[in-house]
A and B are shown apart, each in its own frame.
Chain A
Amino acid sequence: MVKFTLNGKTVEAEESKTILQVATDAGIKIPTLCYHPAIEPYGGCRLCIVEITKRGRTKVVVSCIYLAEEGIEVKTDTEKIIRSRQTILKLLLARCPESKKLKEIAEQLGVASTHFRISDQSKEKRKNCILCGLCVRVCNEVMKVGAIGFVNRGFKKFIGTPYDSESDACIGCGACQIVCPTSSVDPQEVCEEEIKIIPSEYNMGLEARGANYVPFPQAVPKTPAIDKKYCLYYQSDGERCGACEKVCPRGAVKYGQEDKIVEEKIGTIIVATGYDQYDPIAYEEYGYGKYKDVITGLHYERIVNAAGPTGGHIVRPSDHKEPKKVVWIQCVGSRDEAKGISYCSRFCCMYTAKQAILLKDHCPESDAYVFYMDIRAPGKDYEEFVKKAQEFYGVKYIRGRVSRIYEKNGLLVVKGADTLAGIQLEIEADLVVLASAAVAQGDAIEFAQKLHIPYNADNFYTELHPKLGPCETVTGGVFLAGSCQFPKDIPDSVAMASGASSKAMTILAHDELEIEPVIAKVNEEICSGCLTCKDICAYSAIAGKEIKNRKTGELINVVAEVNSSLCHGCGACTATCRSGSIDLDGFTNEQLFDEIAIL
């Protein structure tokens, strides 16, 4: 550790740290373009210069490569430094007058214009390139590829591939694009193959995500996860990249970590696994998957979200233009026994009305059309909400189905019927939103089998009783909440979750557990002690019990004994017992024989 003064304050730092790192940690901003924490510093752009005083002598150094030293005095914002930075920036601006990033820094440094001769950039391939070499170094040092480098010297210098042709060495990782301070690199210009993005699952593939990413904004814990399938470090067995480990200031990224199975003892389980969206690709007439502008309600939900990929601006996925006419089609898959599912997905009518209202709010000039079968708005203020969409916002509701959607001159022609007016319609829409059905999760059955809870023909989990036990399941201690039981809107899901959690807590709040009186019992007098029942018991509720002579302590016999708190009362042991010495209270052999006898 070394001590030195930074802008008048004494700071302590490790010897291996540069002044730039120490200043950044201390919250002092030093402008820089060519510094990236994952790459060895290089001092390319010279913007990060600071003034140091060492043994009474003052000099200007580049802070990204100058290591912390005992007793020096560092000043980051003297007049001389600011003037020098302004000059450096003016030189950079003379080279790249169009760069957004440079203009941004110019504003911060109070640089209005450059008095140097502005270079002719018309022939340059990468107009905003300041030749800092960050992309070259990331490609070489971090990604171990070396597909790009500096070409020529002096004024003719530029960054490119050998012979400036598309490279077969480029792996299309896009690291050069990520590190470029002035956004002047397009890896597709360099790479021979088509660069594939990783589609963000949360944003319905409307946006790319990194291999190291937070799965969704509300994730708990909100920590990034590495997707080994895409991560270049894992894909190259540790040869390439490893940037996230270098960048993380907490040292939280450890590549050696393995997935592990954590075992916890828990009292109750609430199943809230939700639903999945029906894939409307089965409805070929709507052209989902074929036309980019035919999307599902979930896609639209991401587009309209302020935190989504478009920042809440409603645009078509194909050309990012605001749509003028949007058509919603309800009941895609729902209530269609022939092709889709037989039930009503319950919340699509309401979200369609909401989405149409949002369109009118965002783009008041646009037209919204909704094709519906029936409007199902059973809930508090729901009917009024749909009425508001129709009357106040002027969303045009058309009762009828759509027969076909096809593309014509960049627009989607929606052919449908208006069954109330008894006419055929053709709407030239920019965007079509399908209110796709809600279906059970793909692994719903597998999961139900793990928990021993029943499910219905549509793979939704079955409650204990449709009226009297809507949150419980037949398995004690397992509760249901939300759409895993059946499609539900938000208020219903919240109400059910409150019910389920209260029920779950009630069990845990008691010192004693109430159980069904249906329990196996052993007639010790005739039990031979073969303990076949012990092997058959799924709950390990049966064990051997030694019967001893009370006086002498001599072992007389071993008999089966039922642990009544473990026994679930299935009766498998009774049907197995050869001597008929084990019986099930509530369903005794005698009772069952009598039941048969009266038939």
Chain B
Amino acid sequence: MADFEPKIVGILCNWCSYAGADLAGTSRLKYPENIRIIKVPCSGRVNPLFIIKCFQQEGIDGVLVSGCHPGDCHYTTGNYYARRKFALMNKMLDFMGIEKGRVQFSWVSGGEGAKWAKVVEKVVADIKKLGPFTKFK
């Protein structure tokens, strides 16, 4: 368990979190390499099915969805819809038996490279504690 390295999917909005992750890279910040990033135009684009799909996938242990700060959405309201959707989804995940902490949400702006690194560190640490995800597989 000690050397368990989780595989985490990061679904990031193009304008804020993806730019933030990019900034973390160009600023040469170090953060765990456990995360694989999928770019979407907006956190509002994220269909809850994408998250379920991730857990069906062999070897994926967690999901992080990240968008613009509330009020800062490039598309005005996309992250508000995302927030509402995920508030409901949290309950469903609970019902499905996916532990709290496996799916996480964050707001990271394009200027917050350092925050992105911190968020990833936290998510990786949380999922390391939960261990590998085996339920659907």
Contact = CB atoms under 8 A, between A and B. Distances in A.
Interface string A568-579: 111110111000
A592 interface: yes
A424 interface: no
Interface string A545-584: 0000000000000000000000011111011100000001
Interface stretch (A8-16, A49-57, A454-462): A454-462
Q: Which size bracket describes the interface of B in this complex?
A: 35 or more
Contacts of B68: 454
Contacts, number: 99
A454 B109 CA distance: 8
A454 B41 contact: no
Interface centre among A518, A570, A596 (most CB of B within 10 A): A570
A202 interface: no
Nearest to B59: A599
A446 to B, nearest CB: 9
A589 B42 CA distance: 14
Contacts of A475: 74
B111 A571 contact: no
Contacts of B46: 575
B30 to A, nearest CB: 19
Contact of A574 (B15, B36, B45, B109): B45
Interface string A344-388: 000000000000000000000000000000000000000000000
Contacts of B50: 592-593, 596
Interface residues of A, number: 31
Interface in B43-86: 44-50, 53-54, 57, 59-60, 68, 71-78, 81, 85
Interface in B71-119: 71-78, 81, 85, 109-112
A587 interface: yes
A575 B7 contact: no
A539 B41 CA distance: 15
Given A454-B16, A455-B111, A568 B75 contact: yes
Interface string A310-334: 0000000000000000000000000
Contact of A572 (B9, B44, B60, B112): B44
A593 B46 CA distance: 11
B38 interface: yes
A575 B111 contact: no
Interface in B21-43: 36, 38, 40-42
Interface string A448-466: 1100101111000010000
B127 interface: no
A593 B72 CA distance: 27
Contact of B41 (A448, A452, A456, A518): A518
A570 B38 contact: no
Nearest to B54: A596
Nearest to B44: A572
A255 B22 CA distance: 55
A454 B75 contact: no
Contacts of B49: 589
Contacts of A79: none
A536 B38 contact: no
A512 interface: no
B120 interface: no
B76 A595 contact: no
B111 A572 contact: no
A593 B60 CA distance: 14
B111 A462 contact: yes
Nearest to A449: B71
B124 interface: no
B7 A599 contact: yes
A596 B110 contact: no
A538 interface: yes
Interface of B: 7, 9, 15-16, 19, 36, 38, 40-42, 44-50, 53-54, 57, 59-60, 68, 71-78, 81, 85, 109-112
The 3 A-B residue pairs with the shortest CB-CB distance in the complex, in nearest-first order: A571-B45, A456-B111, A570-B75
Given A454-B72, A572-B42, A587-B41, 19 more contacts: A449-B71, A452-B75, A454-B109, A454-B111, A475-B74, A538-B78, A570-B74, A570-B78, A571-B44, A572-B45, A572-B77, A574-B47, A575-B48, A589-B49, A592-B40, A599-B7, A599-B9, A599-B36, A599-B57
17 contacts: A448-B72, A452-B74, A454-B74, A454-B110, A455-B109, A462-B111, A474-B19, A538-B76, A570-B44, A570-B74, A571-B44, A574-B45, A575-B47, A575-B81, A576-B81, A589-B47, A599-B7
